[in-house]
Amino acid sequence: YIDRLRELSAKPYVQYVSIFRNYGKEAGASLSHAHSQIIAMPTVPRIIEEEMTASKKFYDQHQKCIFCDIIEKETKSSRLILDNTHFAVFTPYASVHPLEFWILPKKHAPTIRDLSKAEIEAFAETLKTSLKALKTLVNDPPYNYGFHLSINRDAENYYHWHLEIYPRLSIWAGFEKNTGIYINTVKPETSAAELRKNL
């Protein structure tokens, strides 16, 4: 991921590099073997743009990163799943998907491009442990994950990369598609407790 990100983000026409994985047919995986995908884009996607705008607004008001603030709060909350030297894993306060969880680095950085060897190893172990807990808990469900990052050095102070994991345990129907409002029948605190039990 990091090698491809470095290569692609160096191109002047690339504004964003999307790194994601679709696992299982229901999650959109088109090949049966394990794989991820990377797409270089000439624009920043809407979701990332909205995160960056909100992060910059918070930074301008409080002179600190909103994600660093979230990590500080979530490591003390009942939504915490896993906490180690380099990363925090938790279910977000307003999760869209049942058993959705995020992995955030404790060290502030806008991108994975500059991770140290120790951080890369810790991230790999954190991701493996978290996905194994999900697999054990709900019998190897389909899921998607995606890195949220910035390749724009201007975002260095206010944006914080993270990985979001979305298990595909429910189907969005008319209400969700018609309104953009999502019904999640599992509280994030319950999701966190169940995932913690299966670490």
**In terms of DSSP bridges, do strands 80-83 and 37-41 run parallel, antiparallel, or are they unpaired?**
unpaired
- Give per-residue pLDDT as tens, 71-84: 999 999 999 999 99
CA gap 78, 86 in Å, rounded: 19
User: Given this model, what pLDDT does residue 161 score?
Assistant: 98
pLDDT, position 172: 81
Annotated active-site residue 35? The verdict is yes
**CB contact at 8 A, 150 and 125:** no
- Calculate helix-pair angle for 188-197, 117-138, nearest 10 degrees: 100
Whole-number pLDDT of residue 35 = 86
Residues 125/73, Cβ–Cβ less than 8 Å = no
Residue listed under structure tokens 């088109």: 30
Average pLDDT by consecutive 10-residue portion of the chain (199 residues)? 97 97 89 87 97 98 98 98 98 95 98 97 98 97 97 95 96 86 92 97
| DSSP 8-state secondary structure symbol assigned to residue 71 | H
Q: Which of 35, 62, 86, 148 is catalytic?
A: 35
Distance of CA 84 to the CA centre of its chain: 17
Question: What is the token pair recorded at 64?
Answer: 């600190």
